[in-house]
Structure 1
Amino acid sequence: MEGNESLSSAMQERGLTQVELAEAVNTRLICAGHEGTVSDRTIRNWLTGKSQWPHPKQREALEAVFGCMAEELGFSPPARRQRPATEPESPVERRNFLTATTGTAASAVPFVGAPPQVGTSDVLRLRSGLDALMELDDTRGGHEGLERAALSGAAEALDKQKLGATQRIRLRLFSIAADYTATAAWSALDARQADRAQALLGRALYLARMAQDPVAEMRVWNSYAMLAHQRGALTEAIDSGLAAQATGITKRDPMFASLAHARTAIGHSNLGDRQAALRSLGHAREALGKVDRDQPRPSWMAFYGPAELTAMTAIVRDRIGDAAEAEAASHKALGAIPKQFRRNRALATTRLALAQLHQRDIDQACSTASNGFELMTGAPIPGRMRSLLGDFYRDLITLAPDAGAAREWGDRYRAEWSRA
C-alpha cells in the first residue's frame, strides 16, 4: 500500500494538519447541507492509501478545499468508475466556494465571442452561501474552516468582477465580497486571532466602500469595536462604535443604530464611564423600540434584537459594578436567546456566572460556568469564550482561592481547556 504523496504535498503547501483538513472538509459538507463526517482518521486513511477514492460528497468537498480534481490529489477511482479517457485535459473549473455548497461543477469551454455575463442569479447564489456560513457560526463559533470558506466566497465574488456585468451588479459583487471578508474577519476575531482579524477588517472596509454599502461598513466598524476591546485599546473601541453610529444605514434602520449604540455602551463601561454607558444603553433601547421587524436585513444581523441587547446590557452592568442588575439581565437574556445561537447562549451563561461570582455566590457561579461547557459539547470552544472562561477563573481564584467549589471548577477548567 503506497502513501498518497500528492495529498500530503498539497496539505504542506497550505499549511494544513490532518485535523485542520478534516475541519475544512466538514465545513464545506455542512454548508452543502450534509453532515460533517470526516475525522482525522479519515484523513489518515487518505494519506496512507488505505482509502484510494473518497465517498462522493466527501470527494466534492475535498476538491473544493484544494480547488482541483481528486485525481490531482493522488486519488484513483475504481476501474469501473474511471472517468472517460476522452475527457478534455481541463474539464472542470472548480468554483472556490459555491461548488462546495451546491456540489456542482462547471465545464470549462473555449472562449467564443463576448465574455459571459454575470447576473442577479449569480449574486443570489453567492449570497445564499454566505447565509449558510452565518448559520454555521451561530452554532459553532469562529474557526479556521469557516474563515477559509468565507475567504473562498470573497475570492469567487471578486473573480466574477472580471466577467461582463452591469455597474449595479458590480457593486453588489463588491458588497458580497465585503460581507464574506467581514465574515472571515469575524471568525478570526471570535477565535481571538487579533492580527489576522485586523488585516481582514481593513480589507473588508475597503471592499465595503468600493461597494458603496453602508450596511457592510457598519458591520466592519462593529467588529472593529470588538477587536479594539480584545487588544485593550479601550478608547479606540469607543471611537469604532461612534464610527458605526455615523454610517448611513443607522439613519434609515433603527436596528443598526441600536446595535451601534449598544456596542458604544460596552466601550464606555470598559473605561468605567458609568453615565456615558447608561446613556448609550438608553439610546440603544429607544432605537430598538422603533424597529420594523418585517424589514429585510442581512443574515449576519439575525443575532441582534431584544435578547441580544439584554445580554449586552448584562455586560455593561457588570463592568460598571452593578452585579445584581447584570445577573438579572443575563437570566432574562438566556430566556430569550433562540436555541440555534448556541455560542451566544454559552457566552451569556458564562457572563451570568461572572455576575454571580462578583456577588460572592461562589458555588452557584461555578455551577453556572460549568453549564457554559455543556452548551458547547461536541464542538471546540471558540477563542472568545475561552478567554471569557479565563476571566472567570482568574476572578474565582482571586475571590475564593480556598473554596472547594473553586478547586473543583479549576480542575474542570483545565480539562476542558484542551478543547481548542
Structure 2
Amino acid sequence: MFVDARVERGWNTQEDFAAAYEDKARELHEQARISVRQVRRWESGESTWPNRDARRVLEAMFDCSMENLGFYRPVRRNRQYSGENGQQLEEHMHRRTFLGLVGAVPVLDLTMLDHLTAAHRARRRSKGDLLGDLRTALDETARADGLDGPHEALPTALGIVSAINFTARTAKEDLRRELLALGARGAELVAWLYRDAGAPAQAVAYWHHQAKEWATLSGDGAMHAYTLLRQAQATDRTQAARMLDLARAATTGPWTLPPRPRAEALQQEARALAITGASTDQVARVLDQAYAALAEAAPPSGPATCTGPLGGSYTRERLMVQSAICYREAGQNKRAVRLFGEHLATDAFAPRDRAFFTAQYSGALVAAGEVDEAAAAALESLTLAAGARFGQALAELHRTAADLVPYTQRPAVRDFRQRLSELALT
C-alpha cells in the first residue's frame, strides 16, 4: 500500500520520498529529518506505526489515514493483564501476527536462527559447499510451501535470505555475484510467501524490490523480468492497468525471458486485458502467443525447483487452467468451466495450486449457473486450503461465497458458507 501510494504521487524512489517528506515537515513545522533507511522500514512493514510527528506529515502528504497506507495501531495491553496472564496475551498476539492475521514480520524460530548462524560459519566453508547448501535449503523451503503453506515456510525463507545477505557483504566479487543471484530467487520466494500469508502490500513490494535489486546487481536480467511477472500476479484485480503494465514489461524490457516464464507472462497479460474489458478475441490472441512460447520450451531435465531454470514448473496443464481464469475474467464462463473440468482432473498440481485453481473453478461454476457444482468445488478447495491456510485460495473462496449469497437456501451452499465462516473464526 505504502509503495503504491508513493509511486502514484510521483515519488518514484525512496530518496525522492525522503526529500519530499522533509519539505512537508518543514512546512508543517515538524521534525524534518528522515533517512532512506526509515522509508525502507515503513515499506517493509518493519516499522508498523510511525510516531506522532511522522503521522502528521504522512497524512498531509498522502491525504489519507495511516491504515490506508498499510500501517496498523499497536495493541495496547490492558492493565488487568499482568504476570503470567499478560505473558499469555502477548504470546497470543505474537501468534496472530505470525499467522498473517496482522501481517507483521514473523518472529525468529530455531530453524531460522540456525540458518543465520550458518552465515557466520560461511568463511570456513568452500564456495561450492556454501552455495549448494543455500540452494538446497531454498528448494526445500519452496517445496514445503506447496505442501504446508506459507506460515510454515516463511521463517526459514527469511533466515536463508538473511544468511545470503550477511555473507555477501564480505564475500569476494565472484562469490558475491553468485550469492546475490541466489538471493534474488530467495527474495522473490519471500515476497510470494508474504503475499500468500496475507501480509501488508508494502511488505510484499519491499521483497519484490529487493529481488529486482539483487537480480540487477548480479547481472541476471531474466530474473529481473521474472520478478516483474510475479509483481503482476500479486497485483489486485482492482488495479488491472498496473497488472497489465507489469506483465507487458516482463516480456518487452531490455531482457530475454526463457520460453516458460515468457508464456506465463503472456498469460498474465491476457488476464489483465480481460479484466480491463478487452474483447475475447484480443484475450485469445495473447493466449495463443503464450501457447506458442511454451511450445518453444525444451523438455524439463528434472523436477522443477526454486533455484532451477526460471518457470520450470510452468507446464501445459498450468497454462490451460490459467487460460480458464482468463476466460472467466472475460465473462466466457462456460468455456472456463470446460477448461477447468478437463485440466484439474490431472495430478499435475501441488495442494496449494490445486486449492487455488479449484477455488477459481467454483467461481466460474457460479457464473455459469451451476450452483450446486460450485458449492461442491468450493468445499473441495476449502478442504485443501484450510489446514495450511493457503491465502490466495481462501481469498478466492470468499469471492465465491459472496457470489453464492443469492443461493443460501440450497443445502450445499449453506454447508460451504458455514464451514468457511467457522474457519475465519479459528
Do they fold alike, i.e. is TM over 0.5?
A: yes
Distance in 1 separating the partners of 2:111 and 2:155: 11
- Identity, in percent, stands at 19
Task: Call closer, same or farther: CA 1:200–1:410 in 2, change over 3 Å.
Answer: same
Of the candidates 161, 186, 204, which is equivalent to residue 154 of structure 1? 161
Instruction: Tell me if 1:221 matches 2:228.
Output: yes
Instruction: Tell me if 1:389 matches 2:409.
Output: no
Task: Call closer, same or farther: CA 1:312–1:98 in 2, change over 3 Å.
Answer: farther
Greater C-alpha Rg: 1
Give 1:355 shift.
1.7
For the 8 Å contact 2:243–2:269, the answer to whether it is kept is yes
Of the candidates 313, 318, 331, which is equivalent to residue 328 of structure 2? 318
Of the candidates 287, 294, 301, which is equivalent to residue 288 of structure 1? 294
Instruction: Tell me if 1:181 matches 2:187.
Output: yes
Distance in 1 separating the partners of 2:312 and 2:118: 22
The residue type equivalent to 1:96 in the other structure is: L
Task: Call closer, same or farther: CA 1:120–1:268 in 2, change over 3 Å.
Answer: same
Give 1:219 shift.
2.8
Distance in 2 separating the partners of 1:12 and 1:416: 23
Distance in 2 separating the partners of 1:298 and 1:218: 18
Give 1:222 shift.
1.6
- The aligned residue for residue 80 of structure 2 is none
Q: Which has the higher contact order (CA 8 A, sep 6+)?
A: 2
- The aligned residue for residue 307 of structure 1 is 317
Give 1:12 shift.
6.8
Distance in 2 separating the partners of 1:237 and 1:317: 17
Task: Call closer, same or farther: CA 1:294–1:408 in 2, change over 3 Å.
Answer: closer
The residue type equivalent to 1:208 in the other structure is: A
Gaps of 5+ in 2: 1-82, 100-107
Give 1:250 shift.
3.9
Task: Call closer, same or farther: CA 1:95–1:141 in 2, change over 3 Å.
Answer: closer
Instruction: Tell me if 1:170 matches 2:153.
Output: no
Instruction: Tell me if 1:275 matches 2:284.
Output: no
Gaps of 5+ in 1: 22-60, 68-93, 100-104, 109-114
For the 8 Å contact 1:97–1:149, the answer to whether it is kept is no
Give 1:292 shift.
0.2
The residue type equivalent to 2:273 in the other structure is: H
For the 8 Å contact 1:147–1:184, the answer to whether it is kept is yes
Distance in 2 separating the partners of 1:353 and 1:316: 14
Instruction: Tell me if 1:413 matches 2:420.
Output: yes
Distance in 1 separating the partners of 2:384 and 2:117: 30
Give 1:239 shift.
0.7
Q: CA RMSD in A?
A: 3.2
For the 8 Å contact 1:225–1:236, the answer to whether it is kept is yes
Instruction: Tell me if 1:139 matches 2:155.
Output: no
Of the candidates 373, 376, 380, which is equivalent to residue 367 of structure 1? 376
Give 1:201 shift.
1.1
Instruction: Tell me if 1:119 matches 2:139.
Output: no
For the 8 Å contact 2:385–2:393, the answer to whether it is kept is no
Instruction: Tell me if 1:190 matches 2:196.
Output: yes
Q: Deviations over 1:209-244 (max 9, x none)?
A: 1111123213311221022225x2110101110121
For the 8 Å contact 1:347–1:372, the answer to whether it is kept is yes
Q: Deviations over 1:168-225 (max 9, x none)?
A: 3211100111111111110111223222111221122111111111232133112210
Instruction: Tell me if 1:96 matches 2:116.
Output: yes
Q: Deviations over 1:326-372 (max 9, x none)?
A: 11111222123525x10111111112211211121111111111111
Distance in 2 separating the partners of 1:267 and 1:136: 30
Task: Call closer, same or farther: CA 1:323–1:95 in 2, change over 3 Å.
Answer: closer
Task: Call closer, same or farther: CA 1:373–1:97 in 2, change over 3 Å.
Answer: farther
